[in-house]
Amino acid sequence: MAASILNVRDLHFYLFELFDAQALTARPRYAEHSKETYLAAIETGRKIAQRYFLPIRQKVDVQQPTFDGKQVHMLPEIKPAIDAVIQSGLACPEADYEWGGMQLPAIVASVATSFLSAAGSTTLGYTSLTNANCNLIEAHGTPEQIAKWVVPMRQGRFAGTMAMTEPSAGSGLADLATSATRTEEGRYLITGNKIFISGGDHNLSENIVHLVLARIKGAPKGIKGVSLFIVPKYLVDETGAVGSRNDVSLAGLFHKMGGRGQTSCAINFGEQGGSIGYLVGEENQGIRYMFHMMNEARIMVGTSAALTALSGYQYSLDYAKERRQGRLPSSRDPLSAPVRIIEHADVRRMLLAQKAYAEGAYSLCLFGAQLADDVRTAPDEAERRSAKVLLDFLTPIIKSWPSEYGPRANSLAIQVLGGHGYTNEHPVEMFYRDNRLNSIHEGTYGVQSLDLLARKVPADNMAGYTNCISRMRDDIETATQHPALQEPAAALLAAIQVLEETTGAVLGGMQKLHIDLALANSVKYLELFGNVVVAWMWLKQGIAASAGLARDPHADDRNFYLGKLQALKYFYAYELPEIQVWKQILCDFEDAFYMAREEWF
């Protein structure tokens, strides 16, 4: 079967019709860009994915990295794949030209790397984490730190990680036990154990730069006493030359269900007395700095989940168009030839649901990227601030919705292929395994739901919430100008009403009820808000598709737009109505599990 990774037409739709990425070239930072340079970057990503990533997709999964007690052994083909990404500039597509980046807007960078992520999300993980590490040090480090660590990382000679989780403190950053002791030279000696460090060790680069959260001796307890350190695998002298090993050692690799292209490491810092670390920014501000990287990582997680969903959708679609099996219920003739399975309504259900989930999720991630671009380069200060408020607000949804619906899409892709989808003849079972991590790492689903409800909604006089609702109303206004969008526009308006009533009730409960009870259904709130936001993204796509249809396009484009409208119809008929059920649960402060006592289980 011909292996198509993603639908290029669809990617162009997001960039040039749904979001006006071309308009960004009017901003000074992107002045040298044009539609042509965007397309060239996307084509570069596609070619590298096709040439380096796709051929090793299965091997990366089957031949997991191993650790012989001394060093990590990886599939040799991973390095050339990563090197190709680095040489193309796609390892840091948003970075300044002077760092070897492409200085692309975030939204274009996302699309330019989409083929790589879809064909090998965890192989791409090495460069994208390194990129996020650089961004943090650029924002909060000293010029010396930037010169020493960021420059070689941008060049692809060094790689970067973030090291937060500890064996006895998973999501609980307040309980981090890794310690840092200040030395006379103004450096720190770091001692502690970290786990689940993605890309924490490998043989792909000259050095690995860990960003490590640790507590300086005597610092306050809790998250207010946590600082951030640069802790390299190898020490580097003033000339930038890589020298002796730091006291950083790999304790072991985790064997994961999926995402096997990227090592997940347990690392011991300071077993020989203390690994040398360099403080980033000020003492006790580590959590704040780390969230610079973390927020970026959360959007990366959502994006990866969405692209893995898109990849499975595309694969199962290609399969369904070729594979022949069975007959329609209306067929009375056992002598007739079996139909292609896309002719079965239930197979189209599984395809259209995947389309609605995957394209809904990815459009949301790109909306987030567009906001990130506005935060950085919108000409108007108020516009920049508004974008920041909304992006902060939406981050838990951008992280969570694709991570929840992405695996559902991948499960449907398996189902389309039937028994074949359950075997490694096809990649869909790998997508399903890969995608399952996304609702865990960088803050679990539950953690995101508390972030949304307890922090982001009330924050700053509900500024993010209000901003979000108000933008939705603007788009509803636009949608009502298209005859084909009257129904979904009205439905989204009604959904906003549901959201408003629910939010009012829950915030009221947070005042009146025990806070643990008031927050107990936070996951349902995240689900409700998520479905409304994705319905909004579908309405946005409906507007763009309607505009496209109004231009009387050629047949292929016409079909493409009709497909968008059909996925919108599906989402509004089958998915959006669920919010009524969740509203009831939330407004009633349903307490079935809250009241469930441990001894009852």
Q: Which is nearer to a second copy, 46 or 344 (CB)?
A: 344
Pairing state between β 242-245 and 72-73: unpaired
Interface residue with a second copy among 28, 218, 329, 483 (CB under 8 A) is 329
Token pair for 246: 């730091």
Which residue, 395, 178, 434, 167, is CA-closest to 297? 395
The SS3 of residue 476 is: helix
Kindly tell me which of 113 and 227 has the beta carbon lying closer to a second copy: 227
Which residues in 331-370 contact a second copy (CB under 8 A)? 334-335, 338, 342-349, 351-353, 355
- How many other β-carbons are positioned within 10 Å of the β-carbon of residue 126? 29
Contact 378, 20 (CB under 8 A): no
**At 201, which amino acid appears?**
D
Question: CA 204 from chain center: how many Å?
Answer: 23
Distance of closest approach, residue 221 Cβ to a second copy, in angstroms: 5
- Closer Cβ to a second copy, 107 or 350, answer by number: 350
Of 163, 321, 317, 304, the closest CA to residue 230 belongs to: 163
User: How many Cβ atoms from other residues are within 10 Å of residue 200's Cβ?
Assistant: 28
Residue pair 242/208 in contact by the 8 Å Cβ criterion: no
Beta carbon nearer to a second copy, 277 or 421: 421
- Return the number of the residue (47 or 321) whose C-beta is nearest a second copy: 321
Evaluate whether 219 touches 179 at the Cβ level (below 8 Å): no
Site string for a second copy, 447-476 (x = CB under 8 A): --xx---x----------------------
Shortest reach from residue 353's CB to a second copy, in Å: 8
Considering only residues 429 to 448 of the shown chain, the ones binding a second copy according to CB under 8 A are: 429, 432-433, 436-437, 439-441, 444-446
Contact at 8 Å (CB) between 548 and 17? Answer: yes
CB nearer to a second copy: give 332 or 551.
332
Residues 18-77 that bind a second copy (CB under 8 A): none
The distance between the two most distant Cα atoms of the chain, rounded to a whole number of Å, is: 88
Which residues inside 177-206 make contact with a second copy, applying CB under 8 A? 195-196
Query: Least CB distance from residue 157 to a second copy, whole Å?
Result: 29
Residue 11 tokens, joined = 């990617």
Sign of the Cα pseudo-torsion (454, 460, 464, 466, in order): positive
Return the residue of 425, 474, 477, 501 that touches a second copy, per CB under 8 A. Answer: 425
Stretch 129-168: interaction string toward a second copy, x if CB under 8 A = ------------------------------------x--x
| Size of the residue set binding a second copy (CB under 8 A) | 105
Nearest 5°: the CA angle 166, 172, 178 is 40
Instruction: Tell me which residues in 245-264 interact with a second copy (CB under 8 A).
Output: 254-258, 264
Q: Which is nearer to a second copy, 237 or 322 (CB)?
A: 322
Contacts of 490 (CB under 8 A, 6+ apart): none
- Residue identified by tokens 């409960």 is 509
Q: Write out the binding residues for a second copy, residues 538-597 only, by CB under 8 A.
A: 559-560, 562-563, 566, 569-570, 573-574, 577-578, 580-581, 584-585, 588, 590, 592-597
From the list 134-142, 151-159, 169-177, 299-307, the region that binds a second copy by CB under 8 A is 169-177
601 binds a second copy per the rule CB under 8 A: yes
Site for a second copy in 505-534 (CB under 8 A): 514-517, 519-520, 522-523
Q: Which is nearer to a second copy, 238 or 601 (CB)?
A: 601
C-beta of residue 293 within 8 angstroms of C-beta of residue 144 = no
> Of 133, 171, 457, whose CA–CA distance to 292 is shortest?
133
Beta partners for 184? Answer: none
List the interface residues with a second copy, window 222-241 (CB under 8 A). 222-224
Of 380, 419, 125, nearest to 258 (Cα)?
125
The nearest distance, CB 599 to a second copy, in angstroms, is 4
Q: Which of 442, 477, 500, 575 is labelled catalytic?
A: 442
- Which residue type is seen at 527? E
Q: Does 419 bind a second copy (CB under 8 A)?
A: yes
Among 83, 175, 206, 557, binds a second copy (CB under 8 A): 175
Active site residue 575: no
- For 121, the token pair is 């999300």
| Contact pick of 1, 139, 174, 177 for a second copy (by CB under 8 A) | 174
Catalytic residues: 442
